A and B are shown apart, each in its own frame.
Chain A
Amino acid sequence: DAGVIQSPRHEVTEMGQEVTLRCKPISGHNSLFWYRQTMMRGLELLIYFNNNVPIDDSGMPEDRFSAKMPNASFSTLKIQPSEPRDSAVYFCASVDYNEQFFGPGTRLTVL
C-alpha cells in the first residue's frame, strides 16, 4: 500500500483565492482526520469522518473552511476565500485500530 496520499504537496496562493487540498486514505481504513499544524498552535484537529460521514467538525475554524468525503477513497478540504493566517501544513490521517497513519502533508502559503 502506498500509504495516505495528499496533494498537492506545496501550494502557494494569493489571499482571496480558493484552495482545495486532497487526500486518499489507506484502503480499508474507516476513519479519516484532517489536521492543521502551525508553530504557534501545534497540531489542531479540523474535522473527522467515520465511514464517509462527518462526525466532529468542531475544529473547523470558520465558514471559509469546508470538507467532504464523497467516498471511502477520497476527501477534500476547501478554503474559500483563503487568508494569510491559513498558512500552515495540512495533514490528513486515516485510522486503523486507533493508530493514525498520516499523509506527508500539504504546505500551504497564502500571500
Chain B
Amino acid sequence: RKEVEQDPGPFNVPEGATVAFNCTYSNSASQSFFWYRQDCRKEPKLLMSVYSSGNEDGRFTAQLNRASQYISLLIRDSKLSDSATYLCVVNWKTSYDKVIFGPGTSLSVIP
C-alpha cells in the first residue's frame, strides 16, 4: 500500500459545483497534513494546512479523520480558476522530518 493515496481523477465539474477530494495515509504516526495546489507546468504551492478540528478558508474546507486515516478537501462554488491538481501532503517525525506527497487529484472546472 502506498503511504499516501489519492483518487487521480480527473474530476470535471461545472462552475458553481461543490467537489470533494479524499486522501488516505498509511502511517498512523503522521502528525501534520496539508493540501497543496499545482497549476499546469508550475510549482506546487500551499493551499491550506489541515487541523484536527477541521478548518475553513473561504470556499475551501479541510477535514482530518485520524481514526480512519484520511483527510479531505471540499471546494464550494467552484470557479474556473480552481482548475489545477490538488496534492495531499503528510508529514511525520522520526529522528527527522518525513514528508510524503500524494500523487495528486486533477480538477477541471468547466464553464
Contact = CB atoms under 8 A, between A and B. Distances in A.
B45 to A, nearest CB: 7
Given A42-B103, A98-B49, A56 B43 contact: no
Given A33-B99, A48-B96, A98 B43 contact: no
Given A91-B43, A103-B43, A98 B96 contact: no
Nearest to B46: A99
Contact of B96 (A56, A102, A104): A56
A102 B32 CA distance: 18
- A: contact size bracket: 10 to 19
A87 to B, nearest CB: 15
A107 to B, nearest CB: 8
- B: contact size bracket: 20 to 34
Interface of A, helix, strand, loop or mixed by DSSP: strand
Interface of A: 31, 33, 35, 42-43, 45, 48, 50, 55-56, 91, 98-100, 102-105
23 contacts: A42-B101, A42-B103, A42-B104, A43-B87, A43-B104, A45-B99, A45-B100, A45-B101, A48-B99, A50-B97, A56-B98, A91-B44, A98-B34, A98-B91, A99-B34, A99-B49, A100-B44, A100-B46, A100-B89, A102-B45, A103-B43, A104-B42, A105-B43
Interface of B: 32, 34, 36, 42-46, 49, 87, 89, 91, 96-104
Given A43-B101, A98-B32, A99-B34, 7 more contacts: A42-B103, A42-B104, A48-B99, A56-B98, A91-B43, A98-B34, A102-B43
